Structures are given as structure tokens and as C-alpha cells.
Structure 1
Amino acid sequence: MAADPSAAGPSAASEIARMHDPDRFLTALFAPAARRERLFVLIAFNHELVRALEMTASRAAAGPMAALIRLQWWRDVIAGQSGGHELAAPLSALLAAGALPRDTLLALIEAREAEAQGLETMRAWRDATLAGAGGLQVAFAQALGEADPAVLDRLRAIGAAYGAGATLRHLPALLKAGREPLPMEAPADTTAWLREAGQGWLRQAGKPRLPRERRAAGLIRVLASRDLSRDSTASARRGLGDRLAVAGAFLRAAA
């Protein structure tokens, strides 16, 4: 199998992941060293998709077109038709080596396109969350070598639960950034609704047993569970307790 591209010192992808998605960056650190860089590229790619949704200053004025154009550009990168971004070369190299799942990455783009155009129904929101945050967790596992459809389905539910919890923690900031992550028919009590949806996904997923080399793919479950059980007024900032909980889950699974 081709080695992941690497460079002396932190890569651009690892820095993007560390700065903009510290939760998934933390879980990636528990992956085998030889496969961490592909996870950092994946996390950074997802950040760029989310960033495309946040760059439209006024959706009321501009509509979803600006976001859709940027998302199409990432489709072109996956197809090998665009470059010029610091992630384009490492992403293309990993795709060419079969180290990242092309179809799953395209599904991530589709989920963000759906959000850009507006999630009208509860079903649309669930589908987009399973394909977006859930699909990212599937890609995470596939990048670590997981291929069992049943296991991937459980990890998709875990990723979706994390997405619901992250929305719960960051909703004011998401809305301020120009995103519209909730369906138009969402109930008035969004806190209770997001918590119920996320906890339902966690129950559906259970606690899949993964071999050590793929265990990092399931660690986001720890943070999802903590987020969905917090008081809604709790700080969105992570603390030492969160990091220790992730490390403890990894060690307990090894026992």
C-alpha cells in the first residue's frame, strides 16, 4: 500500500485540523502513526466544505449559489480537475493511492449542498446529518481500513450523534457564521430535540468493538455522549475532562 504523503514537521492539513476541528484531531492522534496524515487531510477537507457554507455573508441576498460554487470546486478537486489549494495535492495523492474513499467524500459534498439549499423537513435534516457528520465518521473508518458495512453503519450513527451534539453546543455561533443547520420545521425547543435525536443515534449505534488499529474511528462517541448530556448552558469550550475521557475510552477498549 502506498505510504501517506508527509513532510518534516506538521503538515498544512494537520494544522488546519488542529485549529478548526480539535475534537476529530484529538481522536486522530489515537490512530496508527502511519495513517494519521490521511485522517488530518480528511478532517481538513471537511472543514473546507463547512467553510464554504460560512462564506456567504447574507443568504437572503446571495442565496446558496456562492456555497454551491465552492462545493463544486471541491468536486472538481476529487475528480482531479482543480488545484491551487494547499489541500488539493495531498487529497489527490491519497485518492490516487486508494487511501481515502472517493464515493464517501462525494457524499459529504452532497450533504453540504443540501444544507446550502436549505433543509426544509426533519427527514431532510436527518438525511443530511447522517451523510455529513455521519459520513465523515464512515470515511474516517474507511481510511483506517474498516470495510464491514454493519460496522460502518454503526459508526455513521455515532458521527450523526456527534453532529447533533456539536450543533447543540455551537448553534449561536453557527447561525452567526451564516449557516442554517436546522430544518425549517424544527420544533421550538431545539435543545430537547437535538438531544433526543443525538441520543437516539447513540442507542442505535451501541459501542462497536474495533481492533486497535481502527479504534480511533469510534472515539468521537465519547464526546458525542458528553455533549448530549451537558446542561444546555454549559460552555462550548472543551476541557481536560473531555480529553481524559477520550484517552480513557481508548485504554479501556485495549484492556
Structure 2
Amino acid sequence: MANSLSAAGAIAQRHDPDRFLTALFAPAVRRERLFVLIAVNHELVRALEMTTSRAIAGPMAALIRLQWWRDVIEGRSAGHELAAPLQAMLGDHTLPRETLLEVIEAREAEAEGLETMQAWREAMLGGPGGLQVAFAQALGEKDPDVLRRLRAAGAAYGAGALLRHLPAVLALGREPFPPDAPPDRAAWLREEGQGWLSQAGRPGLSRPCRAAGLIRVLASRDLSASHDNPAAAQRGLGDRLAVLAASLRARP
């Protein structure tokens, strides 16, 4: 499959295999839209990670990179292999610009520092949550209640992914939590993520949009697993089979 992937698909597969896996269950004619969104999201996250020392440089380097992507979304910049397919998708009204701008805003807030638990929650709902809304909209979903549920599912996945990689994140010296977060970070992440999973429920999705709901499966597994062993951060066959089984159950 790797040889037949577009540039966006290759980026998605290499850097975000979870969302890439769920995108494979989208209708073939719409799958590329999801690859583009995954690849762009990778660039937004990368903008944060490329700031080597926030204590020295502050958030400015990340904010400059994020502003460039804001300009791409608003049609003022190009020159990146993802810019043209993203702008095409925005230009044909497949996806509202406001959804992706919300994801940018969440990343900007993260770059500047999330000072309260409420700010952290808003960033999770706007970042990974907003990306899941974009997924659904790119697949044609418009129902506000369904989009609200998928936003919660995306935030739950974000919490679960952070929990899964928490030892590695902390080992790098990153502190992705607000100062007022409880001392037991793992327990807190589980509680927050499970709360979002409850809000998400099982959103009723039309057949073309069902791939957008599969992230909930991975979120549930991450939030219920033990991550004391660093090897637990690696995806296994069980995760992939769980996504496959959920996709089969969703079929009429």
C-alpha cells in the first residue's frame, strides 16, 4: 500500500498510524481528504515539538509556524506539498475553515502554555477534538449533535494517547499539564478521558462517516490499559482487530 499512497497518505501512515488506520475504513473516494487532515495535523503538532527550549526561546518559534499554517488555511500562503490539497478541500466547501482554525487556536494556546485545567480541557476539545470534527465534516457529516459527540471522542483519544506515551513525554522534559493538575497525572488523564468517552457515547453516523467514529475504540483501549511498561505504548494486533471489529459492527 505504501507505494500507492499520496504524499499526505505517506505522512499520515508514518507519523499518525492510529488515525491512518481509521481513515482506511472511509469510502475510497473520500479517504484522501482524511490523509490530508492527518498530515496537516502532524505539521501542527510538529510546530510545537520543534521548539527545543521554551524556557529560553519562549513560544515564538511555534507561534510563527502555526501562523504560517493559519495563512495556508485562510488562502494567503502556499509552497508546501500539503497546501494545495488542503486549500482545494477548503475551496470546494468540503470542510469549513472555522474547524481547522479552531485546531490552530488550540495549538497556539498549547504553545503559549495552558495555565489552568479548564484551559487544558478547551485545548483538548479544540485540538484532537476539533480534528475529529474535521474528519466527520470532510466525510459529509453535518448533524451538530453527532459532531459534538465526535469532538468528545477526539478529546478522549487525545487524553488516552497522552496517557499511553506519558513516560516518554516526561522523559523528554515536557510538561503538558497545567500547574493546577492533580499530582497523579495518569489517574487524572484517565478520569478526564473517560468523562469525554461518556459524553461521546456511540454517535449515530451515516455509512460514509463511520470511519470518523472509530477513534473512540482506540481511546477506550488506551484509557483502560496499564501503561507502566514502556512497551505498552506500542500498538498491537489487538488494537487493530478491535478497530476492524467495530467497523464491521457498524455495517448495516
User: TM class, shorter-chain normalised?
Assistant: over 0.9
User: Deviation of residue 175 (structure 1)?
Assistant: 4.4
Residue 198 (structure 2) pairs with residue 203 (structure 1): yes
RMSD, aligned α-carbons: 1.4
User: Deviation of residue 99 (structure 1)?
Assistant: 2.0
Residue 183 (structure 2) pairs with residue 188 (structure 1): yes
Aligned to 1:4: none
Aligned to 2:159: 164
CA distance in 2, matches of 1:48, 1:67: 11
Query: Are the aligned partners of 2:78 and 2:84 in contact in 1 as well (CA < 8 Å)?
Result: yes
CA distance in 2, matches of 1:149, 1:107: 16
Aligned to 1:33: 28
User: Deviation of residue 81 (structure 1)?
Assistant: 1.4
Aligned to 1:87: 82
CA offsets per residue over residues 24-68 of structure 1, 9 Å max, x none?
000000000000001000011111000000001111100000000
Query: Are the aligned partners of 2:74 and 2:97 in contact in 1 as well (CA < 8 Å)?
Result: no
CA distance in 1, matches of 2:62, 2:171: 16
Larger mean CA deviation between 98-107 and 161-170 belongs to: 98-107
Aligned to 1:128: 123
Amino acid paired to 1:162: Y
Amino acid paired to 1:144: L
Residue 144 (structure 2) pairs with residue 149 (structure 1): yes
User: Deviation of residue 184 (structure 1)?
Assistant: 1.8
Aligned to 1:140: 135
User: Deviation of residue 208 (structure 1)?
Assistant: 1.2
CA distance in 1, matches of 2:40, 2:195: 28
Aligned to 1:240: 237
CA distance in 1, matches of 2:73, 2:233: 33
Unaligned runs of 5+ in 1: 1-7
Pairing partner for 2:97 from 77, 98, 102: 102
Change (3 A) 1:233 1:178: closer
SS at match of 1:254: coil
Amino acid paired to 1:245: A
CA distance in 2, matches of 1:116, 1:179: 12
CA distance in 2, matches of 1:58, 1:98: 39
User: Deviation of residue 178 (structure 1)?
Assistant: 6.7
TM-score (norm: length of structure 2): 0.95
| Length, aligned pairs only | 248
CA distance in 2, matches of 1:54, 1:175: 13
CA distance in 2, matches of 1:99, 1:197: 31
Aligned to 2:57: 62
Residue 244 (structure 2) pairs with residue 252 (structure 1): no
CA offsets per residue over residues 196-248 of structure 1, 9 Å max, x none?
10001111111112122110010000000000000121410000110000010
User: Deviation of residue 171 (structure 1)?
Assistant: 2.2
Pairing partner for 2:67 from 65, 68, 72: 72
CA distance in 2, matches of 1:48, 1:180: 20
User: Deviation of residue 88 (structure 1)?
Assistant: 1.0
TM-score (norm: length of structure 1): 0.94
CA offsets per residue over residues 83-105 of structure 1, 9 Å max, x none?
22111111111111122221100
CA distance in 2, matches of 1:35, 1:173: 34
Query: Are the aligned partners of 2:26 and 2:211 in contact in 1 as well (CA < 8 Å)?
Result: yes
CA offsets per residue over residues 147-172 of structure 1, 9 Å max, x none?
01011001100000000000101123
CA distance in 2, matches of 1:22, 1:47: 11
